Amino acid sequence: MYSSTEAIVLQLHPYKDSSAVVKLYTHQMGLVSCWVRSMHSKSSKTKAAVLQPLSIIRTEISYKETNMPQLKEIAVAEQTPGIFLQIEKSSIAIFLSELLLHVLKESHHDEPLYSFIREAILLLNNTDKKCSNFHLLFLVRLCDYMGLLPKENYSASTSYFDMQEGTYVEKEPLHPRFLHPAETEALHQLSSLKMEEFYIPVISATVRRNLLHGLLDYYRLHLGMAPLKSHLILEEVL
C-alpha cells in the first residue's frame, strides 16, 4: 500500500550499510518512522539535503504488514533555505525538531497542530527579525495544542507561575517547580502574542535562559518528556 503526503522532517538517523531511518510528522498520519535506502548512491547528497530538520517535503510512503514503512519518493514541498544558511535559525530548527520528537505521538493525526508547525517553520525561514524569542514563543503557543496553556490570572499581585498547577500565584509555592517574577512576567507577555509577533518582547538573556529551562521543566512535568540536549547549544548561539 502506498500513501502520498506532505511531511515535516524531524530526524534523519543513519543506519548500517546505506540506509537511514527518518522520523516525519506527516499531514495525514501524524508521526511516522520510515526507511530511506540508497543513502550512498548518486542521489544521496540530494536526499540528505532534503531531509534536514524541519524541511517540508512531499513523499510517497510504502507500507508492508511486517516491515517499517519505506520512503519511495521525496520532493521539496516548500523551499526553506533561510533556515539552513543562518546559524541562529538552524540552531532553533534543531531544537524544535528535538522538542517535537519528544512531544508528538506516533500515528496521531492532528491537522491544526500540523498547520501550526508548518506555518512556524515558514515564518522562521522568511523573517528578517531577530529570532532570540522565537523558540520561547513556539513553546508557549505549542502549549495550546498540548492542553498546557497557563490559566489567565496574571496580575501584579500574582507574580509567580506555579508550574505544578499551571496558574499564577501570589507567593512562592512550597514546592520548587515555579517561575520567579521576572520569568513569570515574560511568560505572561509571550502568552498574549501570536507567533508572528515573536520579535516584540524585549527579554534579557538571563531571563530568556531561565524561562527556557522553566518551560522545558513544565513540559517534562505534564507530558513526561525526556530531557533535551539541543537547548544547550541554542543558549550559546542566541
Q: Which segments of the chain belong to CATH 2.40.50.140?
A: 2-79
Homologous superfamily (CATH) of 85-237 is Recombination protein O, C-terminal domain (1.20.1440.120)
> What pLDDT sits at residue 169?
96
Q: What parts of the chain have a pLDDT lower than 70?
A: 38-46, 65-66, 106-107
Give CATH 1.20.1440.120 domain extents, the chain. 85-237
| Res 186: pLDDT | 97
162 bridge partner residues: 167, 178
Residues sharing a CB contact under 8 Å with residue 44, sequence separation 6 or more, in sequence order:
18, 38
For 90-134, what is each residue's pLDDT tens digit? 999 999 999 999 999 766 789 999 999 999 999 999 999 999 999
Decide: 146 and 103 in contact? Cβ < 8 Å.
Answer: yes
What 3-state DSSP class applies to 59? strand
Give the model's pLDDT for residue 210.
97
pLDDT at site 45: 52
Identify the sign of the CA torsion 198, 199, 202, 207.
Answer: positive
Q: What predicted TM-score, i.e. pTM, was given to this entire model? A: 0.92
Burial of 188 (0-12, 13-18, 19+ CB in 10 A): buried
Does the domain at 2-79 match CATH 2.40.50.140? Answer given as yes
Q: State residue 116's pLDDT score.
A: 97
pLDDT at 187: 97
